[in-house]
Amino acid sequence: MSERPFPPGDHDVVVVGSGPGGLQTSYWLRRLGIRHIVLSADDGPGGMFRTLPVYQRLLSWTKPDAPVERGTREYELYDHNSLIAVEPEIRATAVEFMDRSFDLPSRSEMEQALAAFAGRAGLEVRYGCRWAGTRREDDRWVLETTDGDYRCRAVVLAVGMAEPWRPALPGIEAVPHYVDTGQPSDYADRRVFIVGKQNSAFEIAQALLPWARQLVLAAPGRLQSDLSALSPLRVRYLQPYDEFVRGGYGTFILDAAIERIERRANGYRAVTRDTDSQESFVFEADEVLATTGFQTPLGDLPALGLATKASGRLPVLTPFWESVSLPGIFFAGTVTQAERGLEKHGAYASSTGVSGYRYNARILAEHLAKRLLGVEIARPSLPTEDAVPYLLEEASHGPELWIQKGYLARVLAVDPATGVRDEGILPLTYFVDDGPAEGVALTVEHGAAGTIRPVLYVRRQGAVTEHELPPHPLHDYSGEEHRREAADRLSPLLPAQVVP
Amino acid sequence: MRETGRVIVAPLPLTSTVAEMLSQLALFADLSPSQVEAVALAFGEQAFAEGQRVLRQNLSGSGVFVILEGEVIVVLYGEEIARLGRGEFFGEISALSGEAPNADVVAATFLRCLAVPAPELERFLLDHPTVLLRMLKVEVQRLRLAELTQQ
Question: CA B139 to CA B145: how far, in whole Å?
Answer: 10
Mean pLDDT of A317-344: 97
Contacts of B131 (CB under 8 A, 6+ apart): B27, B28, B30, B31, B124, B125
pLDDT value at residue B2: 34
Task: Name the closest residue on chain B to residue A280, using Cα atoms.
Answer: B34
A275/B58 touch (CB, cutoff 8 Å), yes or no:
no
B100 vs A contacts (CB less than 8 Å): 466
pLDDT value at residue A225: 47
pLDDT value at residue A35: 93
Mean pLDDT of A142-161: 97
Indicate the Cα dihedral angle B39, B41, B46, B47, nearest 10°.
110
Confidence of residue A247 (pLDDT cuts 50, 70, 90): confident
Is the pLDDT assigned to residue A25 strictly greater than 50? yes
Q: Which of A37, A263, A62 is nearest to A158 (CA)?
A: A37
Mean pLDDT of A128-148: 97
Mean pLDDT of A40-49: 97
Give the pTM: 0.93
Question: CA A158 to CA B40: how far, in whole Å?
Answer: 28
Domain parsing of chain A, residue ranges: 9-162+295-373, 172-292, 381-490
Q: Which of B41, B97, B102 to mutate to test the interface with A (most CBs of A within 10 A)?
A: B41
Helix (H) or strand (E) holding B45: strand B45-48
CB B114 within 8 Å of CB B39 = yes
B34 vs A contacts (CB less than 8 Å): 220, 256-257, 259, 273-275, 278
Mean pLDDT of A174-186: 95
The CATH code belonging to domain A9-162+295-373 is 3.50.50.60
Confidence of residue A230 (pLDDT cuts 50, 70, 90): low
- Percent of chain A at pLDDT exceeding 90: 83
Helices (H) and strands (E) in chain A, counts: 11, 22
- Report the SS3 class of residue B115: strand
What is the separation of C-alpha A318 from the centre of its chain, rounded to a whole number of angstroms? 16
Which of A220, A346, A464 is closest, CB to CB, to B41? A220
Is the pLDDT assigned to residue A105 strictly greater than 90? yes
d(CA A195, nearest CA chain B) in Å: 13
Mean pLDDT of A264-270: 94
A346 vs B contacts (CB less than 8 Å): 63, 117-120
d(CA A332, nearest CA chain B) in Å: 19
User: Would the CATH topology of A9-162+295-373 be identical to that of A172-292?
Assistant: yes
Q: Which of the residues in chain B have pLDDT under 50?
A: 1-15
A344/B62 touch (CB, cutoff 8 Å), yes or no:
yes
Q: Which of A162, A168, A135 is nearest to A150 (CA)?
A: A135
Q: Which of A309, A431, A469 to mutate to test the interface with B (most CBs of B within 10 A)?
A: A309
A340 vs B contacts (CB less than 8 Å): 46
CB A174 within 8 Å of CB A268 = no
Q: What is the DSSP letter of B28?
A: G
Mean pLDDT of A291-318: 94
Domain A172-292 homologous superfamily, CATH: FAD/NAD(P)-binding domain (3.50.50.60)
Instruction: Set out the domains of chain B in order of their start, with CATH numbers.
Output: 2-150 (2.60.120.10)
CB atoms closer than 10 angstroms to residue A162? 18
Q: What is the mean pLDDT of chain A?
A: 93
Task: Name the closest residue on chain A to residue B50, using Cα atoms.
Answer: A324
**A56-94 core/surface letters (b: 16 or more CB in 10 A; e: else):** ebbbbbbbeebeeebbbeebbbbbbbbbbbeeeebbbbb
ipTM of the complex: 0.90
CB atoms closer than 10 angstroms to residue A281? 15
B114 vs A contacts (CB less than 8 Å): none
- Ranked by mean pLDDT, the top range of A55-64, A228-237, A385-394, A443-452 is A385-394
Mean pLDDT of A87-99: 96
Q: How many CB pairs under 8 A join A and B?
A: 99
d(CA B133, nearest CA chain A) in Å: 18
CB A308 within 8 Å of CB A302 = yes
